Structure 1
Amino acid sequence: MSLAAPKLIVSDVDGTLIDSRERVSRRLREALATFSAGGGYFALATGRPPRWLFPVLEQLPLRPICVCANGAVLYDSDSDRILTTRALSPSAMLELVGSAREALSAHGGVGVAVERAGVSAFDREAELFLVTPEYEHAWVSDEHGMGSEEEVLSQPAIKLLLRNDKLTAQEMYDLVRPAIPADLAHVTFSIGYGLLEVSAPGVTKQTGVADLAAILGIERAEIMAFGDMPNDIEMLSWAGRGYAMGNAREAVKAAADEVTTSNDEFGVARVIEALYR
């Protein structure tokens, strides 16, 4: 296939694949079904852990392999199987939290949470998502586990979450990122309010998509990717063709090859439909 007809299409979820009502449009479902029927592979690449994917997967015409937790996990949604994981070690997380707390000391400090891989998307949430008592949830969570910072950071995690409700994510990033060496961890964010997402060094959606492409035997030039937030930048700039959504941040648009319309204006569907004209 040429670049105009990729072998693999990869899409971010929030702000990209789903609209502002968290729905996958009928138009996009039909476009994905056409692409899949022609022999193409489709995958999700998201900051979400596997356990948060099924409200989206239930709207799709297929059950894809998913790049989860910003590249830390490859998850086969058809068989509910974790294929690969790339985790932060407890010692690295302890160092990370200390550096972040110092960087944010003048702004109210930091709350800490972790996502662990487990073996299934249906493992108990309290075993997969653990928070410290001072962690201010950025979304509704009723079944998380709770423990001291020592307990929360005692096991490897696919993602470390740093929370400060007095700052935006960009403000947190500007303060924390310089304090975290690249060989210790990768720091990014995917929402506007004060929450940073930290992965093992070098782990991004790009590395997750590259792992998937290697499994499928697909070259980088044969991949098309879509995204809207800073945690998509590496993936969009690496893929054979990277598309930023019309609602994307300016830094994301600058990293992409093209800009499509917003997630509420069928941005992903428009590009896929154009492959068949």
Structure 2
Amino acid sequence: MKYKLLCSDLDGTLLSTKSDVSAYTIAQINRIKQSTRIILVSARMPNGMYYIQRDLGILDQPIVCYNGALVLDGTKELLSVTVPLKVVQQIHEVCEGFKTDMGLYAFDEWHVPKASERVEKEIKYTKTNPVFKSTLRTLEEWEGRKIGAHKVMLMGTKASADQLMPLLNKKFGNEVNLYRSNDTLIEIAPKSVSKLTAIQKLMGPGEALQDVIAFGDNFNDIDMLSNVGWGVAVSNAREEVKQIAQSITSSNTEHGVALYIEQHLLI
């Protein structure tokens, strides 16, 4: 098979560890990158993606951040869509009754109210650092700056996430996209964007979705994998993702993306 674009999720997919790509993956990307554009597509912030681009030798390519809410090509901003601050404030009010912290992301800013095990993991895995500030103070400052959030991360317990997810879907499902990252995390993104819409934004002359092969593992990858030319799930993906994928490769820890590239992609 030969494709013009390869689009891959990072965490749980391209990354063989919690934070890095393997030498095998780097070698396989190097083998095809002269004939295939390599686009990283993630829920991460830009600073959590640049070092991976650098390791892969693809800093000349655009990146899709925040599940498609921010698309960058070097220093050039190709797309920026945020959750309106009023909606973020309303979500915060709903969450106050639950044991849930709110992480707020805009461009290369990440604000959290306090340190926690989850925040420490995020720092370690994404190699980025947050600003520690109360959520109310951050929201007040962002209101003054007239900016919204590219992503909101709700960090709680499994019990609080179980309660919040249907509640937030009911109240805000028409205004935002909500994804359950894992048992304790809920990610919130602008309604009008997804990984798929971001990829469509990056289509160049003579390129179409049928020219794209994509890799993913989680709910926020379903739209992308379902609509590109060939969607591949890693074996550690959620069952719902594997059901819609056209192929299943090995797990991320077994370098599944690199293995699929080596076995199936032509130069």
TM over 0.5: yes
2:42 paired with 1:34: no
- For 2:236, the aligned partner's letter is N
Per-residue deviation at 1:22?
3.2
Per-residue deviation at 1:109?
4.1
| Cα 1:90–1:222 shift into 2, 3 Å | same
- Tell me, yes or no, if the aligned pair for 2:165 and 2:186 is still in contact at 8 Å: no
2:15 is matched with 18
The alignment yields a C-alpha RMSD, in angstroms, of: 2.5
| Alpha-carbon separation, structure 2, partners of 1:216 and 1:173 | 43
Per-residue deviation at 1:166?
4.7
2:169 paired with 1:178: yes
Higher helix content, 1 or 2: 2
2:254 paired with 1:265: yes
Per-residue deviation at 1:254?
1.4
**Could you list the per-position Cα deviations for residues 102-160 of structure 1 after superposition, in whole angstroms to 9, with x for gaps in the alignment?**
xxx4xx34322210115xxxxxxxxx112335x85623255414134264263311011
2:80 paired with 1:93: no
Q: Equivalences for 1:33-72 in 2 at 5 Å?
A: 33-37=30-34, 39-63=35-59, 64-72=61-69
2:126 is matched with none
| Alpha-carbon separation, structure 2, partners of 1:61 and 1:160 | 30
- Tell me, yes or no, if the aligned pair for 1:138 and 1:195 is still in contact at 8 Å: no
2:185 is matched with 195
Secondary structure of the structure 2 residue equivalent to 1:253: helix
2:79 paired with 1:84: yes
Per-residue deviation at 1:32?
1.4
2:111 paired with 1:114: no
Secondary structure of the structure 1 residue equivalent to 2:266: coil
- Which of 146, 149, 157 aligns to 2:133? It is 146
Secondary structure of the structure 2 residue equivalent to 1:19: coil
- Which of 107, 126, 129 aligns to 2:110? It is 129
1:252 is matched with 241
Flag structure 2 segments of 5+ consecutive residues without an equivalent.
124-128
1:7 is matched with 4
Question: Matched residue pairs, number?
Answer: 253
TM-score scaled to structure 1, two decimals?
Answer: 0.81
| Cα 1:60–1:87 shift into 2, 3 Å | same
| Alpha-carbon separation, structure 2, partners of 1:259 and 1:270 | 11
- For 2:150, the aligned partner's letter is I
| Cα 1:173–1:212 shift into 2, 3 Å | farther
Per-residue deviation at 1:189?
3.2
Secondary structure of the structure 2 residue equivalent to 1:91: helix
Secondary structure of the structure 2 residue equivalent to 1:138: helix
Identity of aligned residues (%): 26
| Cα 1:252–1:45 shift into 2, 3 Å | same
- For 1:117, the aligned partner's letter is F
Flag structure 1 segments of 5+ consecutive residues without an equivalent.
119-127
TM-score scaled to structure 2, two decimals?
Answer: 0.84
Q: Equivalences for 1:198-217 in 2 at 5 Å?
A: 198-213=188-203, 215=204, 217=206
- For 2:214, the aligned partner's letter is A
- For 2:89, the aligned partner's letter is L
